[in-house]
Structure 1
Amino acid sequence: MSTSFVAAWNKPTEFSMTTDPENLDAIVIDAETQSVRIPEGHTVEGDLIVRGGKVDVRGEVTGNVVAVDGEVVLASTAHIYGKKEEIDQVFDWIWFESRRLLEKLWPGGRDEGD
């Protein structure tokens, strides 16, 4: 099973974004530069996960901002209520996916101090 995780990680990362569809009005997506921007004065409710690209936060995110095989850039106007994570190693990715699965199975079991 660990071989399949490593094989999945070694595949070229396609640019993609995961968030609540209601957030799309608050996000600027540029597929050409493989970047996602939250402009100043806009709010993304919940988590924002971007694979294979850059996340440029100038506004607010009420959840976590995660870049898998990418980077998170914060402007001075940015505010993230959750965590900022950049995952660029296979073991970080496995840990991140495991935590996401556990949070889905046991919502509300997340410690605010994490």
Structure 2
Amino acid sequence: MNCNKEAVELMHCYLDGDITKEQEQALSAHLENCEACQKHFHELKRTITLLQSTEQIKAPANFTANVMNNLPTERKRFKYRRWFKSHPILTAAAIFFIFMISGMFSVWNQDNQLSVSKQDNLVIQGDTVIVPADVTVEGDLVVKNGDLIINGTIDGNVTLINGELIEEPIEGDGLMASVGEINGEIEHVDQMFEWVWYSIKELFENIFSF
């Protein structure tokens, strides 16, 4: 019998209670003639006896809760990173919104030149846009960084961004001439946040118009 393999396997089968009668007889015969295996078998049985006699160790009450409470708290920065990774669409939308608002603020602060929507037959004098008395403007009129004088007709809405609607005085009377006809609504955008809101509305209107 090979002591390094067969005898050890029979010992394990005996201790586990899975040994057959033939195997038990073979193990007994081998142990009678092998002092080394007798010693090893005795140590195995002694070890099992010690383990069985030892009381089962139980963790203290609230052990898990105490361990969790003593763990270092997660930094807020890592919480934010985890939230961003879990919500990629919302993160992308928030980043887009921030860049869009920043761009609008930059345009408001840097763009001081007069601009007007492309309309025929308008007269521009300095920073003032004039609708002559015999002119009818078809469609919406947008004037930015300038004033507007309406002597004719605008068949649409009027939007004044950082500008005013001016009524011309009647010569010699000190009175104001009546404003020409506006077949639509007039909107004034004089503050930065009003400009941002107006730009956002224009953006969504252009998107949904497609």
Q: Output the TM-score relative to the length of structure 1.
A: 0.75
**Which of 109, 116, 121 is residue 10 of structure 1 equivalent to?**
109
Partners of 1:77 and 1:98 in 2: CA distance: 30
Point out the structure with the larger helix share.
2
Runs of 4+ in 1 over 6 A off after TM superposition: none
Q: Please say if 1:69 is aligned against 2:162.
A: yes
- What's 1:24 paired with? 120
Identity percentage of aligned residues: 33
Whether the 8 Å contact between 1:72 and 1:84 is mirrored in structure 2 is: no
SS in structure 1 at match of 2:148: strand
Partners of 1:12 and 1:101 in 2: CA distance: 19
Partner AA of 1:24 in structure 2 = D
Alignment of 1:42-61 (within 5 A): 42-61=135-154
SS in structure 1 at match of 2:165: strand
Partners of 1:86 and 1:4 in 2: CA distance: 21
Q: Please say if 1:38 is aligned against 2:97.
A: no
| Structure 1 residue 12: Cα displacement | 4.3
Partner AA of 1:55 in structure 2 = L
The C-alpha deviation readout for 1:19-59, integer Å capped at 9, x for no partner, is 3xxx312x1112xx211100123110001111111111111
Q: What root-mean-square deviation, in Å, do the aligned CA atoms of Structure 1 and Structure 2 show?
A: 1.8
Q: Please say if 1:105 is aligned against 2:207.
A: yes
Tell me which of the two structures has the higher relative contact order, counting C-alpha pairs closer than 8 angstroms and 6 or more residues apart. Answer: 1
Partners of 2:135 and 2:190 in 1: CA distance: 27
Partner AA of 2:159 in structure 1 = V
| Structure 1 residue 105: Cα displacement | 2.9
Whether the 8 Å contact between 1:40 and 1:77 is mirrored in structure 2 is: no
Partners of 1:85 and 1:68 in 2: CA distance: 8
- What's 1:111 paired with? none
Q: Which has the larger radius of gyration?
A: 2
Structure 2 unaligned spans of 5+: 1-98, 168-176
User: What count of residue pairs does the alignment treat as equivalent?
Assistant: 101
The change in CA–CA distance for 1:81 and 1:103 in structure 2 (over 3 A counts) is farther
Whether the 8 Å contact between 2:105 and 2:196 is mirrored in structure 1 is: no
Partners of 1:15 and 1:37 in 2: CA distance: 13
Structure 1 unaligned spans of 5+: 108-114
